[in-house]
Amino acid sequence: MKLAQFALPVALVTIFASCSAPRKLRETQARNAQLDSLYRATYGKLRTCEEDAARAAASYKEKVGSLQEQQAQLKSNNSQMLEHLKELSVISSSQAESIKKSLDNIGAKDAYIKDLQSAIARKDSLNMQLVMNLKGAIGNLDDKDINIKVDKGVVYIDISDKLLFKSGSYDITDRAKEVLGKVAKVLLAQPDIEFMVEGHTDNVPYRPNVLQDNWDLSVKRATSVVRVLQNQYGIPPARMTAAGRSEYVPVASNESAEGKAANRRTRIVILPQLDQFFKLLEKPAN
């Protein structure tokens, strides 16, 4: 009886053990299948990346090869052209060598041109700022009496002689001195600027008395303006040049009264400072 009671639990444990073993095996097999699937997917992605990288490298190598071929072709063409010129005796060997060096330095010259264009743009920006300052200082004067503009990189201030002088005279009016004072204020704020004052007339002959002709009148009017800017507004004389252009640089036809009036003017020309311009070519400090 006791033996039977002991054998029954042992049999139950054996039965349970035999049932759990296949379940663990199935779980392990399922896990292995999942890991194998993940491995295969990862390996597939790796192969795709390797293939993409190989295609990219091949494409890059092909482009580099093409560029090298183009460069070699250009050099060959340049050499052939130089040899042909030599054969025609158009240029000497030294000249051919000079041209070759010039062709080799095209890249450096392109960079210089870009720097030059950038400097010109900065200079134009400074000129426009000067124009805006002048227009702001002068206010709402009629453009027929005073005109400020930039032409080919140079700033011009044209003042009608009707505003500055009486007819046939080179004595500056009180109203003109007020206008010149406003211009002088802006010019004084730019101590590096030098300028030229030009006198212009129409083509009506000047009646000789103290002066001989329109040449004399235009010069006298220019020097009158320069003296006012120096003596009354303190602009250093070394910054100014007085010049007379007489009737020979008209801005309008002298066939009409309006044209003659436009030609009778005093022009202030802001002289380009080449040393300052080339300083603009220097790269700004970081």
**pLDDT recorded at residue 268:** 94
As a whole number of angstroms, the distance between CA 265 and CA 250 comes to: 10
pLDDT tens, residue by residue, 108-155? 666 667 766 776 777 777 778 888 888 888 876 656 788 888 888 888
Residue 15: pLDDT band with limits 50, 70, 90: low
**pLDDT recorded at residue 108:** 66
Q: Which of 113, 120, 122, 79 shows the shortest CA–CA distance to 97?
A: 79
Of 104, 124, 155, the position where a domain reaches its end is 104
Mean pLDDT of 152-179: 87
For the whole prediction, is pTM greater than 0.95? no
Query: Is residue 286 situated within a structural domain?
Result: no
Query: Is residue 224 situated within a structural domain?
Result: yes
Given a cut of 50, is residue 26 above it in pLDDT?
yes
Q: Same structural domain for residues 213 and 95?
A: no
Which three-class secondary structure state does DSSP give residue 197? Answer: strand
Query: Is residue 154 situated within a structural domain?
Result: yes
Q: Same structural domain for residues 96 and 173?
A: no
Q: Same structural domain for residues 90 and 133?
A: no
Task: Decide which of 176 and 11 is more confident.
Answer: 176
C-alpha distances in Å from residue 102, one per residue of 24, 71, 97, 110, 272: 83, 16, 9, 12, 30
**pLDDT recorded at residue 2:** 46
**pLDDT recorded at residue 286:** 45
Q: Same structural domain for residues 91 and 137?
A: no
Residue 8: pLDDT band with limits 50, 70, 90: low
Query: Is residue 129 situated within a structural domain?
Result: yes
Query: Is residue 208 situated within a structural domain?
Result: yes
Tally of domains in the chain? 2
Q: Same structural domain for residues 95 and 161?
A: no
Q: Which of 264, 195, 265, 201 shows the shortest CA–CA distance to 230?
A: 195
- At 197, the amino acid letter reads V
As a whole number of angstroms, the distance between CA 164 and CA 176 comes to: 5
pLDDT tens, residue by residue, 34-52? 877 777 877 776 677 667 6
Of 104, 123, 152, the position where a domain reaches its end is 104
Q: Same structural domain for residues 150 and 98?
A: no
Q: Same structural domain for residues 136 and 250?
A: yes
Q: Same structural domain for residues 87 and 122?
A: no
Q: Same structural domain for residues 124 and 247?
A: yes
The distance of Cα 15 from the centroid of its chain, to the nearest Å, equals 92
Of 49, 74, 104, the position where a domain reaches its end is 104
Q: Are 162 and 173 in contact (CB under 8 A)?
A: no
Q: Same structural domain for residues 84 and 124?
A: no
Query: Is residue 266 situated within a structural domain?
Result: yes
- Structural domain including 38 reads 1-104
Q: Same structural domain for residues 57 and 94?
A: yes
Query: Is residue 285 situated within a structural domain?
Result: no
Q: Are 273 and 193 in contact (CB under 8 A)?
A: yes
Q: Same structural domain for residues 210 and 188?
A: yes
Q: Which of 234, 150, 249, 222 shows the shortest CA–CA distance to 187?
A: 234
How crowded is the C-beta side of 141, counted as CA atoms within 13 Å?
25
Mean pLDDT of 215-238: 95
**pLDDT recorded at residue 209:** 72
- The CATH code of the domain that includes 269 is 3.30.1330.60
Task: Decide which of 243 and 57 is more confident.
Answer: 243
Task: Decide which of 274 and 131 is more confident.
Answer: 131
